Structure 1
């Protein structure tokens, strides 16, 4: 089953699916600043574009480009800034 998700007035959209490795979402973010919260451990893979991220417990923004990834533990909040459309694959554990 494929699920459609939409956040932040349609500026972030994703398709959710289940693969042999678990639950994942494949999505696109429009330019903007967003705050997300997690319920499971997430590995965020940047596919195209780039995103600046302020991870939990950090005061610094770190930029991740296409081909790079970062991880967030369950039950955390983090901030993301993108300057142009950016695609991602988020894998949940």
Structure 2
């Protein structure tokens, strides 16, 4: 899906890591929430509350998922799942555009 229809957007950006990662929150009529974001090259560690699906729209990164000792390479068009109450690290190789879906 290349666009979302009939949504509300939180105007204030979510800004992390000195501005190297930013996103906007998108709310759907059914109560689901996603963020659309952009990450500049660098290494970033995130904590989750809810399970997430990280869809990489464009870019190139490695991700270290909870419980794994091996980094996975992810490129545009791919995604990865993150469990609830977890920590994961991404190593962004090229500017990366993403969509994060929060699952409940």
Normalising by the smaller structure, the TM-score range is over 0.9
Determine which structure has more spread, i.e. the larger CA radius of gyration.
Answer: 2
Residue 65 of structure 2 corresponds to residue 48 of structure 1: no
Number of matched pairs: 93
Residue 46 of structure 2 corresponds to residue 18 of structure 1: no
- Taking structure 1 as the reference length, the TM-score comes to 0.95
Residue 15 of structure 2 corresponds to residue 6 of structure 1: yes
Which moves more between the two structures, 15-24 or 37-46?
15-24
Shift in alpha-carbon separation, 1:20–1:63, aligned structure 2, 3 A: farther
Q: Which runs of 5+ in 1 are unaligned?
A: none
Residue 61 of structure 1 is matched in structure 2 by 71
Distance 1:46 1:83 in 2: 13
3-state SS in 1 of match to 2:35: strand
3-state SS in 2 of match to 1:60: coil
Distance 2:93 2:82 in 1: 21
